[in-house]
Chain A
Amino acid sequence: MPPGVPGGAASAAGLSRRWAVGFLTPAMLLIGVFLAFPAIWTIYLGLTDFRLLGPQALHTKFVGLGNYQQALTGGDFLHSLYITVVYVLLSAVIGQCVFGFTLAWVFRQWKGPLRRVMESLIIVAWIVPGSVVAFLWLAYLQGNIGPLTETGTLNTILGGIGLNWWLQLPMLSIVIFNIWRGTAFSMLLFGAAIQAIPPSYIETARVAGASGWQLIRDVVIPRSRGHILTNLLLISLWTFNDFTPFLLTGGGPGNQTQFLPVYVYQQAFQQGALGYGAALSTLVLLINLLIALAYMRILKERR
C-alpha cells in the first residue's frame, strides 16, 4: 500500500477504492440490466415451455432440458445448423475471404482514380443497410412469377434463359449475395495487412525468383496470418448470425434457406414458442463461443 493515502488501497491514478467503485457502478448497472440479466433470463426461459399466446403463456411449466432434447433430436434444428455451416463456409470463409484477399492484392498495384472508384463501390455494398440491399437484390434476381409481374433485372439482361433464382437456386443466390455484400471488410483488412509488409520482403522474394503464387504462399500469407485469422473469426460469426437471408427468402422455399437465426426467429416469434426459441438461442450462443475459441486458439499458437 502506498503511504500517505488515507482510507486504504489506492490505484495508480491515486483514487481510493471507494471512488473507484463509485465510478464503476453506473457502467456495471447498465451492463447488468441490458446484458447479464437478458442472458440469464434467456437461459432460464429455455428451460420452460413459455409461449407467446395460449395456455402456456399464463401457466408456464419448467420442462428441464426438454427443449434441448427436442432441438437436438428433431430434424429441423440439425438441418438449419447444417445449411448454416455450409452458408458460412461458402460465403464467408471461401467467398469473402478469398475474394477479398484477391481484390486487395490486385488493387495493391493499381494507382489513381479507377482503384478509388472500385474500392468505394465495394465499400458502399457493405455500408448500405441490409434491408435496402435486400430489396435491391430481390429486384435484381426477381423471377417470372406470373404473366402480370415484372421480370428481374438479371433475367432481363440474360434474355431467354431466365431462371426463377430465389426459387430454383436459393442457396447459391444467398451465398453470392453475401459475398457481394461482405467482401469489402475482408478487402479493407487484407489491404491494410498487405500494406504493412515491408516492400523489401516482396522485392527480396522477387529477386530470389519467386513466382506470383510463391510470393503469396511463402511471404504474404505467413506475414498476414494474424489478419487472416481475425478476419475469419469476425466474418464467420457475422455470417453465422446473419438475419438478412430472411428478408430475401423468408427461409424458403420450404426450409432450404432456413439458417439458424431465421429458424430461431420463426420458432420464437412466428410460432410463438418463446421457451423453445430461447433454448435455440442458447445453443447458437454456445456454437458462437466454440467458433471464437477455436480461432483464438489458433491465433495464440503462432506466438
Chain B
Amino acid sequence: MATIQIAGVTKVYPNRTQAVSDLSLDVADGEFMVLVGPSGCGKTTALRMVAGLEEISAGTVRIGGRVVNDLSPKERDVAMVFQNYALYPHMTVAGNIGFSLKLRRVPRAEADRRVAEAAEILGLGDLLGVKPASLSGGQRQRVAMGRALVREPAAFLMDEPLSNLDAKLRVQMRAEVSRIQRRLGVATLYVTHDQTEAMTMGDRVAVLSKGLLQQCDAPQTLYDHPANLFVASFIGSPAMNLYEARIEARDGGLCAVIGDKPVPIPAEQLRQRPALARFRGRTLVVGVRPEHLTVARDGGDGAAALQAEIELLESLGAEVMAHFRVAAEPARTEAVAAGAGEAASPVPVAGGGTLRGRGVARISPRVPVRVGDTVSLTVDGDHLQFFDLETGGAVGGQ
C-alpha cells in the first residue's frame, strides 16, 4: 500500500530522442491511474522508468515516499503485468503465479496458501496444475494478473495488459481488472493506447502526447472540459467535431460563425469563459461532440443550422452515427491530426464545393434521414468548446 509520485521525470535516449519530458504525476494510495496516448507518446517508457527497467534521465520517482531512482526493479516492490503476459511455458499456472514467492524464499506452506488465494480471486482454482500453453487468452491474462497480485506489492504497473485479447473478452476483463484493483486497493499505473479503456477504468486519466503530459483529470472532466485540441480530438469516440470559427458580435452578444452560419454563444458560456471576449473578430477552433448536434430534414433555414450532406449512416441499434459533410472549415492543426490518429486524419473532401468539413452526429434511429440527404444541423451552443487556433489550448477563464 503506497503512493507513486513522479516528479519532473525525463527520459532521453543515447541517440538524443526525448521520449518523456518533465512528467509529473501523483498516484494516490489505492488509486487507478491510466496513462493514455497514441503509440510512441512515451507512456510505456514512463511506466518502465517507474518499474526500474529503464534508467531515469532526470527527475525523481518515489514509491511509498521512498526515492527509487537508483534502486533495482527487485528493490522497488512493484509488480508488473506485460502486454504479452510473459508467462513461463515451462512452469505450471501455480509455478507462474508463485514465481516471485519462490524467488523471495517465502516458506512453501505460506506460498501455497497465497497462490491458492490469488487463484481463488481470479477463478483459476481448477487450472493450477496446467501449463500456460493449454490456456485460453483470457485465462493467460488472469494468470499474469495473479502473478502480480500474489506479491502484495506496493504498486501495480500494467503495460497494455488487455490489448492481446479479442474485443468481447477485453470488455469483460476491463471490468474484472477494475474490480480486482478496487478490492486490493493498491496504487496502479495502467498504460493503454485505447481511450475507451482509459475512460472506463481510470479513477483519473493522464493523457500523453509526444512525451508531454497534456491533461490529468477524472475521465468525465477530460471529456467535458478538454484542456487542449489534442485531448479534445483524442478522447471520445466518435471524436469531437472541430471547425474553425470567427467570433463576431451580433444582437448584443457573441456568435461563432461556422462556415457562414452564425451560432449564438449563450450568455452562460460567456460568463464561464470571459476570455472569449478577447477573440472578437478573430478566428478560433470550436468543438462540438457528436451528441450535441441535432439533425433535421432540410426544413426551413434556421438561423443556427448548418447545411450538411449525409455521407454515411452507421446504425448501432440504440443510436445512429451520421457522418456528414458540412459547409465549415475543418480545424487542421497538428494537435488535431495527432489526437485523431493517422487513420482518421482529415481526408481532403473532393468535389464537395463549399462542404469542406466532415463530422459525425449521434442521432436517434427514428430521425428519417438517408445517405445523400441534405439536412440542417443544429448546434447546442451550451456545449460548445473553444480552442485557441495558435496554442491549441482551451479558451477559458483568463
Q: B11 in the interface, Cβ–Cβ < 8 Å?
A: no
Q: A4 in the interface, Cβ–Cβ < 8 Å?
A: no
Chain A residues within 8 Å of B278, by CB? none
Docked-complex contact B73 and A206, CB < 8 angstroms: yes
Chain A residues within 8 Å of B53, by CB? 203, 206-207
- Chain B residues numbered 49-105 whose CB sits less than 8 Å from any CB in chain A: 51-53, 72-74, 76, 78-80, 82-84, 86, 88-91, 99-100, 102-104
State the Cβ distance, A203 to closest chain B Cβ, in Å: 5
Given contacts A200-B82, A214-B103, A218-B99, contact A207 B88 (CB under 8 A): no
Question: Which A-chain residue is minimally distant from B84 (CB atoms)?
Answer: A200
Q: Mark A193-216, 1 if CB is under 8 A from B, else 0.
A: 000001011011111111100100
State the Cβ distance, A209 to closest chain B Cβ, in Å: 4
Given contacts A207-B51, A208-B99, contact A200 B74 (CB under 8 A): no
Given contacts A218-B99, A222-B90, A223-B90, contact A207 B79 (CB under 8 A): yes
Chain A residues within 8 Å of B99, by CB? 205, 208, 218
Given contacts A203-B53, A203-B80, A204-B80, contact A210 B86 (CB under 8 A): no
Q: A219 in the interface, Cβ–Cβ < 8 Å?
A: yes
Docked-complex contact A207 and B103, CB < 8 angstroms: no
Given contacts A201-B88, A219-B88, A222-B88, contact A206 B82 (CB under 8 A): no
Q: B151 in the interface, Cβ–Cβ < 8 Å?
A: yes
State the Cβ distance, B133 to closest chain A Cβ, in Å: 11
Q: Which of B78, B86, B99 has the largest count of A CB atoms less than 10 A from its CB?
A: B86
Partner of B147, one of A201, A208, A218, A223: A208
State the Cβ distance, A224 to closest chain B Cβ, in Å: 11
Chain B residues within 8 Å of A201, by CB? 86, 88
Partner of A207, one of B73, B83, B90, B102: B73
Docked-complex contact B84 and A209, CB < 8 angstroms: no
Docked-complex contact B103 and A209, CB < 8 angstroms: yes
Q: How far is the CA of A209 from the CA of B80 in the complex (A)?
A: 11
Docked-complex contact A210 and B103, CB < 8 angstroms: yes
Docked-complex contact A207 and B84, CB < 8 angstroms: no
Chain B residues within 8 Å of A204, by CB? 80, 82, 86, 147
Q: How far is the CA of A202 from the CA of B370 in the complex (A)?
A: 56
Q: Mark B37-53, 1 if CB is under 8 A from A, else 0.
A: 00000000000000111
How many residues belonging to B are interface residues under a CB distance threshold of 8 Å? 26
Docked-complex contact A207 and B104, CB < 8 angstroms: no
State the Cβ distance, A223 to closest chain B Cβ, in Å: 7
Chain A residues within 8 Å of B151, by CB? 208
Q: How far is the CA of A206 from the CA of B53 in the complex (A)?
A: 8
Q: How far is the CA of A198 from the CA of B88 in the complex (A)?
A: 10
Docked-complex contact B74 and A209, CB < 8 angstroms: yes
Chain B residues within 8 Å of A207, by CB? 51-53, 73-74, 76, 78-80, 157
Chain B residues within 8 Å of A208, by CB? 74, 79, 99-100, 103, 147, 151
Q: How far is the CA of A222 from the CA of B72 in the complex (A)?
A: 24
Q: Mark A46-84, 1 if CB is under 8 A from B, else 0.
A: 000000000000000000000000000000000000000
Chain A residues within 8 Å of B100, by CB? 208-209
A-B contact pairs, 26 of them (CB 8 A): A201-B86, A201-B88, A204-B80, A204-B86, A205-B99, A206-B72, A206-B74, A207-B51, A207-B52, A207-B53, A207-B73, A207-B157, A208-B74, A208-B99, A208-B151, A209-B73, A209-B74, A209-B103, A209-B104, A211-B74, A211-B103, A218-B88, A218-B99, A218-B103, A223-B88, A223-B89
List B residues at the A interface (Cβ < 8 Å).
Answer: 51-53, 72-74, 76, 78-80, 82-84, 86, 88-91, 99-100, 102-104, 147, 151, 157
6 nearest A-B pairs in the assembled complex, by CB-CB distance: A208-B100, A200-B86, A222-B90, A204-B86, A209-B74, A200-B82
